[in-house]
Amino acid sequence: MDTYSMFKKIKINYDDIVEKEKIIVNYIVKSSDTFSIIPIIQKPYSQDPPVFDYCECFYSFADKYIFDRNEWLTDFSGKLKHQIMVVCRCNKKSRNVLLNLPNLFLPAENNLPEDLCCYRKEELWFGTISHEKIAFFTNATDDDITFLKSNNIKYFEVI
């Protein structure tokens, strides 16, 4: 068992992930099966697929568009009207797209979808609440902690 798996959450310094966004995004997408984002969709709201800022970037690897908040994979994401959850596959193409977008951890400043989260085996593993400037790992492995340490990204253990 990994030493850090006993902790419920590892809170990550948000300023550090903003500063080292490309390093973090590369790691989390390579280490995950899927990721989700929370965009605000544009009129008409019934379009399929839905339209939102940067939507063309996500169409080729989006697996699901979840409109009903009760079905979202997280219970802490977005509370604004007309927000949806978009669940995408993690692969080389999606990683490259994310790495070429403006800073994902500053969504308001860049008109990007909010609350990037990553999943391993359908379980939340990395989460952000961007408007609160919160980032965390759940069930972090020793490799995850080594990654944070080797990149001088501060973290706090939360049981």
pLDDT digits (tens, 9 = 90+) for 82-106: 899 999 999 999 999 999 999 999 9
135 to each of 42, 89, 109, 155, how far by Cα in Å? Answer: 27, 21, 17, 9
Is the confidence at residue 130, as pLDDT, over 90? yes
Give the confidence band of 119 by pLDDT, cuts at 50, 70, 90.
very high
* Rg over CA atoms, the chain: 15
**Residue 119 · residue 34 · CB < 8 Å:** yes
Q: How many domains does the chain have?
A: 1
- Structural domain boundaries enclosing 153: 3-158
Give the confidence band of 40 by pLDDT, cuts at 50, 70, 90.
very high
